[in-house]
Structure 1
Amino acid sequence: MIITHAELQVNPAKEEEFLAEIRTLIAASKQEEGNVDYSLKRDVENPNHFTMIEMWKDMDAVQSHNNSEHFKAFGAKAQAFLAGPLAVRMFEGQELKLS
């Protein structure tokens, strides 16, 4: 499983616009083949800091997502919302069976 954490520092004046655009991205991404989870979290100590947590079946699913029209459309608009550079961390994870 491929896990991506994308850290976004959003301009407070652009938050509503950001949230409207990210809703579209999340809804479309969740429909993609190979998507396990796609969710947005807000930092409780810094309300302008968001983390997008993506989980994908494999790297092929990630590449397909990165080439999707909805991902490209969001990427083309993202700089208008951000107050700092986008930080992305990607790693391979293994689900643990703890029971």
Structure 2
Amino acid sequence: MIIIHARFQVNPAKEQAFLEEIRPLIEGSRAEDGNIAYDLMKDTEQAHAYTMVEVWKNADAVAFHNTSSHFTAFVGKASEFLTAPLDVNSYEASSLSK
């Protein structure tokens, strides 16, 4: 399992546009084979900061996602909305048995 945290620092004047543009990315990503979770979280301590929390079945699912039309369309526009470079961290993980 691959877990990705992508942190966005959004320009306050463009926050609503950011939220509108990211919606198709979320919907398309959730529909992909190999996606387990894809959720945008708003930081409660830092204004205009968001983290996309992604969980993927494996690296092949991530590779497919990174070439999808909804991903490439958003990435092509992302810099219009951000005040800092996108900060992405990726982790390999496994579920703990209960």
| TM-score category, normalised to shorter length | over 0.9
1-structure distance, mates of 2:46, 2:92? 28
Equivalent position SS for 1:55: strand
Question: What is the count of residue pairs matched by the alignment?
Answer: 98
Superposed, 1:1-99 pairs within 5 Å as 1-98=1-98
Q: Deviations over 1:27-84 (max 9, x none)?
A: 0100000000000001101121100000000000000000001100000000000010
What are the ranges of 5 or more consecutive residues in structure 1 without an aligned counterpart?
A: none
> Post-superposition, which runs of at least 4 consecutive aligned residues in structure 1 deviate over 6 A?
none
Which amino acid in the other structure matches residue 26 of structure 1?
I
* Shift in Å, 1:97: 2.2
Kindly, what percent of the aligned residue pairs are identical?
52
For the aligned residue pairs, the C-alpha RMSD in angstroms reads 0.6
What are the ranges of 5 or more consecutive residues in structure 2 without an aligned counterpart?
A: none
The TM-score with structure 2 as length reference comes to 0.97
2-structure distance, mates of 1:76, 1:28? 16
1-structure distance, mates of 2:91, 2:34? 16
2-structure distance, mates of 1:12, 1:93? 34
